[in-house]
Amino acid sequence: SAVISQKPSRDICQRGTSLTIQCQVDSQVTMMFWYRQQPGQSLTLIATANQGSEATYESGFVIDKFPISRPNLTFSTLTVSNMSPEDSSIYLCSVEFPGWEDTQYFGPGTRLTVL
């Protein structure tokens, strides 16, 4: 089975700084997604990242705050910009594998704490 990895696994950051989270898949995928999960809450989709096109953001999320890159079919980054304590959350990437587009598989997540 394919492996999805994320870096960093966790970080503690100061208010006003930015953090870039990486998501790497060991096989090519068309669709990659970025989610946020705050304590006790459901998974909230931030954006969909397809290779070769601009990311599509969900309501309440904007590119200036969460810029996303998708340079190829195995890699994506999410940046959390100008962080505030409200951005403290777990950030998860997920993918849909060719032939299994009905199902999402998640990376291990990045636990972010903003002081």
Which residue ranges make up the site for other proteins (CB under 8 A)? 33, 40-43, 45, 48, 56, 92, 102-109, 111
Q: Within 13 Å and on the Cβ side, how many CA atoms surround 68?
A: 28
Q: Judged by CB, which is closer to other proteins: 5, or 82? A: 5
Q: Judged by CB, which is closer to other proteins: 20, or 101? A: 101
Q: Judged by CB, which is closer to other proteins: 44, or 81? A: 44
Cβ 109 to other proteins shortest distance, Å:
5
CB proximity list for 106: less than 8 A, separation 6 or greater: 4, 35, 92, 93, 94
3-state secondary structure of 58: coil
Q: Judged by CB, which is closer to other proteins: 39, or 85? A: 39
Q: Phi then psi for 42, rounded to 5 degrees?
A: -80, 170
**Can you tell me the distance from the alpha carbon of 71 to that of 50, in angstroms, rounded to the nearest whole number?**
9
Cβ 67 to other proteins shortest distance, Å:
20
Cβ 45 to other proteins shortest distance, Å:
6
